[in-house]
């Protein structure tokens, strides 16, 4: 399966702040008409529009954030996204726009699995700080997260 590659296309002026209406674009909530172009297998995302929540500091992901994409745009150091208590179907993606380490941490007692690699309970996946790294997770029950997409080099802890 081909992995998603996310290329952010940021518009500098409010004059270009029209909504992202083209297939393969996702709208960010950073203001100023920010749009992101998504390169994915045909039909993988076609016709959907997502919001990218920009976080330059650590953030505890909320149960209401299911389906959200998070970016570390503007981060000047490592940031941690702590996943909420898992429930089947919750999903979220995390992308490194800034060349800074991103940590995706499971809640206490939960694990994150990527094929045969699995974290300890309450463990995490940690990026190597390279711009463009991507990790998407989905909860399959109340204690287990599975990686649905991964790009870049991530350590399993």
Is it the case that residue 126 has pLDDT exceeding 80?
A: yes
Residue range 30-47: mean pLDDT, rounded: 45
More confident residue, 138 or 33: 138
Higher pLDDT pick, 109 / 26: 109
SS (H, E, C) 21-55: CCCCEEEECCCCCCEEEEECCCCCCCCCCCEEEEC
Mean pLDDT of the chain: 79
Rounded distance between C-alpha atoms, residue 28 and residue 9, angstroms: 10
Question: Looking at the whole model, is its pTM more than 0.85?
Answer: no
Query: What integer pLDDT is reported at residue 82 of this predicted model?
Result: 98
Q: Indicate if the pLDDT at residue 27 is higher than 50.
A: no
Q: Give one DSSP letter per residue of 118-144, joined into a string.
A: EPPTT-EEEE-S-TT-EEEEEESSSSE
pLDDT in tens, 53-97: 999 999 999 999 999 999 999 999 999 999 999 999 999 999 999
Which residue segments constitute the domains of the chain, with CATH numbers given? 5-156 (2.60.120.640)
The per-residue pLDDT for 49 is: 65
Average pLDDT over residues 7-31: 39
Whether 17 shows a pLDDT value over 50: the answer reads no
pLDDT at position 15, please? 33
**pLDDT at 48 (0 to 100):** 61
């Amino acid at each position: 399966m081909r992995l998603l590659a996310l290329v952010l296309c940021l518009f500098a002026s409010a004059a270009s702040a029209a909504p992202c209406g083209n297939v393969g674009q996702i709208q960010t909530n950073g203001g100023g008409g920010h749009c992101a172009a998504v390169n994915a297998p045909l039909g993988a995302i076609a016709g959907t529009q997502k919001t990218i929540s920009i976080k330059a500091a650590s953030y505890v992901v909320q149960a209401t954030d299911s389906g959200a994409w998070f970016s570390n745009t503007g981060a000047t150091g490592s940031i941690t996204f702590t996943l909420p208590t898992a429930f089947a179907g919750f999903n979220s993606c995390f992308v490194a726009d800034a060349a800074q380490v991103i940590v995706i941490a499971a809640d206490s007692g939960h694990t994150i699995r990527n094929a045969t690699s699995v974290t300890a309970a309450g463990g995490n996946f940690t990026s190597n700080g390279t711009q463009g790294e991507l990790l998407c997770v989905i909860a399959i029950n109340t204690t287990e997260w599975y990686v649905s997409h991964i790009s870049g080099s991530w350590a399993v802890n």
